[in-house]
Structure 1
Amino acid sequence: MHDEQQPLTGFTVGVTAERKAEEIGGLLSRRGARVLYGAAMHTVPLPEDGELASATSEVLSAPVDIAIAITGVGFRGWLEAAEANGVRDRLVEHLRSATLLARGAKAKGAIRGAGLLEEWTSPAEESAEVLDHLLARGVSGARIVLQVHGDPMLRFQSELRDAGAEVVPVTVYRWTDPLDLPALDDLIDAVLAGEVDALPFTSAPAATNLLNRADRTGRGGRFRELLREKVLIACVGPVTAAPIAAAGLPYVMPDRARTGALVRLVAEELPKLGR
């Protein structure tokens, strides 16, 4: 029988987030959980990212026919990084003559926030719909700038190139291994030792890198087996869940893609499963 206020008493939850680690850990601890921290990835700060600066220079090197904003936070982040490097105004003017497309409402808001105007927004807010729209209109000979956010969208890029376009990807947020790799290895070992009852995820890169790290260190097979059989995996939303689903692992997901809802879901589901 678990305390209604602390339903996670007796359970151990692993936190793989970097930016939201303290917030998630605090919410779990208040519900009685023992929390193990092992950030699964590190986000490279935008002004320090030489690859982003190089991509921006490439965008500015020739006229742009079509520019695609995939995420609002990514498009705004790109302009903020350009401002830090002294080329924001030049970049905005450079994109003004391009046909601007938005994957969804937030991307459209970021375009308009920059004083630009989009021609079309995906009604379903899906990348696949943006790709279909582009292929239907024809892109042969077009120079297309694609703002990507985390996922490199390689298939999206290759289909545009196969249709005759030049594609300039601009990766706004880039992830690397975590700054504290031993902590991540310790968390993987804790899962292998049967000490971890749940793993909540708030980002796809964290889920991807956790699995990759287990594979790279020769622990992948057994690690996946334990995740499948012994660990409750909770993903904040469908984008975060994609690498978990691709690995064939079961997971649960809250109705709303919010950190608080994710923790509440873990607190509801874990006691039902028992140890």
Structure 2
Amino acid sequence: MTSTQIAPLAGFTIGVTAARRADELGALMERRGACVLYGAAIRIIPLADDSELLAATTSLLKGGPVDVAIATTGIGFRGWIEAAEGWGLGPQLVEVLKSADVLARGPKAKGAVRAAGLVETWSPESEASPELLDYLLRDGVAGKRIAVQLHGEPLREFVNALRDSGAEVIEIPVYRWTGPADPAPLERLIDALLAGQVDAVTFTSAPAAASVLETADRLGRLDALVEILRGRVLVVAVGSITAGPLKRLGVPVVCPDRARIGALVRELADALPARATRVKVGDRDLELRGQAVVVDGELRPIPPAPMALLRALAISPGRVLSRPALAAVLRKHSGRESGVDEHAVETAVGRLRAALGESGLVQTVVKRGYRLAVAAA
């Protein structure tokens, strides 16, 4: 079996923080071999029950003609129209929007606009808010009344730029989020991240990213989580707006070219294997993934403690690590300050050899410790 036959995400554990379409996202990852941990970071308030949306819609309709209406997401714009219909305001809202220039941020928003019987005036090729803002400011917005459909997190810079240029802006909060009804799955995901059991974490909305950080802060673990996210864990967000709360804390975030969950999964399938450690041990090619090793194209799951030792040994292949040094690795991995001795190291090395399927890959150096069986240069 060659390494190209190994599923791209096999051996990796990926955290999913999404509330909406979490199962679909997880299924796409699992089909590529990943182990998925779910920890929904938010829950969605049903639009028809949202008093803030009703108040914003009523204000929009009572305030006079609308010059520009901006649809930022398909599901949000469609939900707004459906909620207005439920309140008996649907026909009035559509009539007001027909007299406006309707701008759609992307294809899905464009589809929702057309489904409502409207026609978009313009849509940016980049599907990005900055291009939308440049278009508006280039034509001038002073004195114009502009409705901006939000999509989870207030578009502060976007809205403030319009207001600073003289526009009256009505914000339409079609998505409203609160923390998860049951915070336990999210707290378990944070625990797993801090324990080094998660290789990547995904975000599909800015509120979910903010909620993860707020939850970690409430638990007194924000600094530790940010350190992990800045280091060994790959952080992938569906788009730049989603990445915002994380980037503001200095967390590097990878985003696909297009803001789609399929593109997000493809990004993961490319980026995670590229981060794997590769080393030649004897005549074997090893590729260290999250909790598994690909040995000459064969995937071998490795328990967490032995995997921690293997990673330490692979930092400088062929270098001898003493039993006390490896005991320190196990203590750091387990979070225990005591109770990890040289016997624990010997046990973990035995389990590692068994998992690799070939005991000679990890050599005992008498009275010194252990090393990977790397041929001398």
**TM-score (norm. length: structure 2):** 0.64
Q: Distance in 2 between matches of 1:254 and 1:143?
A: 34
Q: Which moved more, 1:186-195 or 1:66-75?
A: 66-75
The one-letter code sitting in structure 2 at the alignment partner of 1:69 is I
- The aligned counterpart of 1:26 is 27
Shift of 1:182: 1.8
Shift of 1:10: 4.4
Deviations 1:30-53 (A, max 9, x none): 554433221111122211212111
Partner SS for 2:230: helix
- The aligned counterpart of 1:114 is 116
CA contact (8 A) 1:191 1:223 kept: yes
CA contact (8 A) 2:152 2:205 kept: no
Q: Which moved more, 1:37-46 or 1:162-171?
A: 162-171
Partner SS for 1:229: coil
- The aligned counterpart of 1:173 is 175
Shift of 1:124: 4.4
Shift of 1:171: 1.2
- The aligned counterpart of 1:48 is 49
Q: Distance in 2 between matches of 1:83 and 1:237?
A: 31
Q: Distance in 2 between matches of 1:17 and 1:246?
A: 20
Aligned-pair identity in percent equals: 53
- The aligned counterpart of 2:14 is 13
Residue correspondence of structure 1 range 199-218 to structure 2 within 5 A: 199-218=201-220
Q: Which moved more, 1:1-10 or 1:75-84?
A: 1-10
Q: Distance in 1 between matches of 2:156 and 2:263?
A: 31
Partner SS for 2:103: strand
Equivalent of residue 152 in structure 1, options 143, 151, 154: 154
Relative CO higher for 1 or 2, CA cutoff 8 Å, sep ≥ 6? 1
CA contact (8 A) 2:65 2:99 kept: yes
Aligned residues: 275
Structure showing greater Rg: 2
Shift of 1:151: 2.9
Equivalent of residue 184 in structure 1, options 183, 186, 192: 186
- The aligned counterpart of 2:309 is none
Partner SS for 1:178: coil
Q: Distance in 1 between matches of 2:122 and 2:262?
A: 33
- The aligned counterpart of 2:70 is 69
The one-letter code sitting in structure 1 at the alignment partner of 2:195 is A
User: Residues 65 and 264 of structure 1: is their aligned pair in 2 closer, same or farther, counting only changes over 3 Å?
Assistant: closer
CA contact (8 A) 2:66 2:96 kept: no
Shift of 1:252: 3.4
Shift of 1:135: 3.4
Q: Distance in 2 between matches of 1:110 and 1:27?
A: 25
- The aligned counterpart of 1:226 is 228
User: Residues 4 and 149 of structure 1: is their aligned pair in 2 closer, same or farther, counting only changes over 3 Å?
Assistant: same
The one-letter code sitting in structure 2 at the alignment partner of 1:210 is V
User: Residues 123 and 231 of structure 1: is their aligned pair in 2 closer, same or farther, counting only changes over 3 Å?
Assistant: closer
Q: Distance in 1 between matches of 2:121 and 2:272?
A: 47
User: Residues 161 and 219 of structure 1: is their aligned pair in 2 closer, same or farther, counting only changes over 3 Å?
Assistant: same
Q: Distance in 2 between matches of 1:209 and 1:184?
A: 9
- The aligned counterpart of 2:60 is 59
Deviations 1:220-259 (A, max 9, x none): 1111111122212223344433443333223334455443
Shift of 1:109: 4.1
The one-letter code sitting in structure 1 at the alignment partner of 2:68 is A
- Asked if residue 195 in structure 1 is aligned to residue 197 in structure 2, the reply is yes
User: Residues 102 and 26 of structure 1: is their aligned pair in 2 closer, same or farther, counting only changes over 3 Å?
Assistant: closer
- The aligned counterpart of 1:78 is 80
Gaps of 5+ in 1: none
User: Residues 131 and 15 of structure 1: is their aligned pair in 2 closer, same or farther, counting only changes over 3 Å?
Assistant: closer
Deviations 1:39-72 (A, max 9, x none): 1111222112121111111111121232322325
Q: Distance in 2 between matches of 1:89 and 1:161?
A: 28
Equivalent of residue 91 in structure 1, options 83, 90, 93: 93
Q: Which moved more, 1:199-208 or 1:264-273?
A: 264-273
The one-letter code sitting in structure 1 at the alignment partner of 2:152 is G
The one-letter code sitting in structure 2 at the alignment partner of 1:228 is R
The one-letter code sitting in structure 1 at the alignment partner of 2:194 is L
CA contact (8 A) 1:69 1:75 kept: no
User: Residues 260 and 128 of structure 1: is their aligned pair in 2 closer, same or farther, counting only changes over 3 Å?
Assistant: closer
Equivalent of residue 161 in structure 1, options 163, 174, 197: 163
